[in-house]
Structure 1
Amino acid sequence: RGELEEAPDSAVVVNLISGAIQRLALLGILDRDELVDHAEAMVLGGLVRRSA
């Protein structure tokens, strides 16, 4: 993984997460509750790292 000089815009992060979740849903890899749990974890993890 490379390091970023600046944190990406929050809209970019949300779009990336949204796209990944949509792909997982289309592939049927995770059920709805699992998708929501992973999305929340990704967003909260990003907020924690950004505030650190």
Structure 2
Amino acid sequence: MQVTTGTGLGLTPIKKLVEQIAGTIATQSANQCTCFTVKLAIAPQLKNYENS
């Protein structure tokens, strides 16, 4: 198996964005595979939009 390195997927900006909109991001690794799970609320800030 060839091991390579790179700049990654840019997960830091994604994590910050997800957290800004009241979501979560998690990782799980097994058997040389990694799964990323992103959970978002349907409308976490709806009241703020209605009051603007």
TM-score, normalisation: structure 1: 0.36
Structure having the higher strand fraction is 2
Q: What is the TM-score when the length of structure 2 is the normalising length?
A: 0.36
Higher relative contact order at CA 8 Å, sep ≥6: structure 1 or structure 2? 1
Considering only CA atoms, is the larger Rg found in Structure 1 or Structure 2? 2
Q: Larger helix proportion, structure 1 or 2?
A: 1
